[in-house]
Structure 1
Amino acid sequence: MAFDMLVTKYERRLFRLVVRLVSNQSEAEDVVQETFIKAYRALPQFRGDSAFYTWLYRIGINTARNFLDARGKQVPLSVDMRAEDFAFHEEGEYLRDIETPESLLASKQVAQTVSMAMDELPDDLRTALSLREIEGLSYDEIASVMACPIGTVRSRIFRARESIATRLRPLLGTPEHIRW
């Protein structure tokens, strides 16, 4: 009963994280299901040293990595993403208030560029950035989920943002010394 409530609470957030890692919706659903099965079986070992969701995300990330390794897969590039796919937070609704054809096209191009740049990031950079920007975890929580020092988390997020900025600069017409 209590575990069902946890599944209900974290299923969507975990799915958003996992689908960014495996880049396939049906495979992500399988990985999320496997993650919850593993978490349920490991629940007696959960010591409460970290928040439940950081523990669950760590299981999800490891399960996704194992899934990709078992299939000998590289993370595929997805070029057919829509701008709506990037409204990860409820606040995203406010970003779509001004919908002219030009702004919709620009938004779609930016979204596709960000998606491709994210897909091309190494796993550790993509995971750190997804946990921070999509899931809203703190640097401490990310360090716990990724089992690495906080300085490493900061470095990974910085490098990921720089990589994406490099791809966005030509599209946005920003000079090299300015990130966005």
Structure 2
Amino acid sequence: MAYKSYRPKDFEAFVTKHENRLYRTALAIMGNVSDAEDVVQETFFRTYEKTPEFESEDHEKAWLIRVTVNLCNSLLRSPWRKRTVQLLDSYPAGEAEQYELLEQIMALPPKYRAVIHLFYYEGYSIKDISGLTGRKESTIRSHLTRARQKLKSVLKEDDYESI
């Protein structure tokens, strides 16, 4: 039995349901507000055009994130892309430590930011991230390990500097 999908009259509710998750994902990968907004808008546009039937709510979520990640990767590869707005100006962090950590995460290359975001902020497993990004599980594990190592070394340096 197919999961009850949205219909065009319910599209506004569908967008409201998923917009924050997709925006956070796109923002983590793209690193700036305007590109993230463009990616999310394009994701919903493609969804509206195709009107896919989803097997479950998890399938719906995974499909949307996969489209978002693919659009981010396409935009990152485009030669005319320029970064103009810092993510940290718009991505809230409650405490100073969270802000510092977020600042270090945003300094990572996009491929590392994406796996960190999907793993820690969205709660996906390595296998799920592999499916969402179209990369091998071993590659995702490697990216996650390298991102953690980079963050660990930078955060240790910051601790020594504050002494």
TM-score range, shorter-chain basis?
Answer: 0.7 to 0.9
Instruction: Report the residue type matching 2:34 in the other structure.
Output: S
Partners of 1:160 and 1:74 in 2: CA distance: 23
Q: What corresponds to 1:92 in structure 2?
A: none
Q: TM-score, normalised by structure 1?
A: 0.68
Runs of at least 5 residues in structure 2 that lack an aligned partner in the other structure: 1-8
Q: What corresponds to 1:111 in structure 2?
A: 99
Q: What corresponds to 1:120 in structure 2?
A: 107
Partners of 1:123 and 1:48 in 2: CA distance: 30
Residue number among 56, 59, 64 corresponding to 2:67 in the alignment: 59
| Pair 1:32 & 2:20 matched | no
Q: Secondary structure at the match of 2:51?
A: helix
The higher-RCO structure (CA 8 Å, 6+ apart) is: 2
Partners of 2:14 and 2:117 in 1: CA distance: 21
Contact kept? 2:32, 2:86, Cα under 8 Å:
no
Partners of 1:146 and 1:18 in 2: CA distance: 13
Contact kept? 1:68, 1:74, Cα under 8 Å:
no
Runs of at least 5 residues in structure 1 that lack an aligned partner in the other structure: 88-95, 97-103, 174-180
Residue number among 31, 44, 59 corresponding to 1:23 in the alignment: 31
Partners of 1:80 and 1:13 in 2: CA distance: 17
Residue number among 86, 104, 107 corresponding to 2:93 in the alignment: 86
Q: What corresponds to 2:6 in structure 1?
A: none
Residue number among 118, 138, 163 corresponding to 2:150 in the alignment: 163
Matched residues, number: 151
Q: How big is the alpha-carbon RMSD for the aligned residues of Structure 1 and Structure 2?
A: 2.9
Q: Secondary structure at the match of 2:92?
A: helix
Partners of 1:77 and 1:33 in 2: CA distance: 18
Partners of 1:48 and 1:129 in 2: CA distance: 27
Partners of 1:155 and 1:68 in 2: CA distance: 21
Give the percent of matched residue pairs that are identical in Structure 1 and Structure 2.
27
Q: Secondary structure at the match of 2:154?
A: helix
Contact kept? 2:32, 2:85, Cα under 8 Å:
no
Partners of 2:71 and 2:144 in 1: CA distance: 22
Q: Secondary structure at the match of 2:81?
A: coil
Instruction: Report the residue type matching 1:142 in the other structure.
Output: I
Partners of 2:127 and 2:87 in 1: CA distance: 33
Q: What corresponds to 1:135 in structure 2?
A: 122
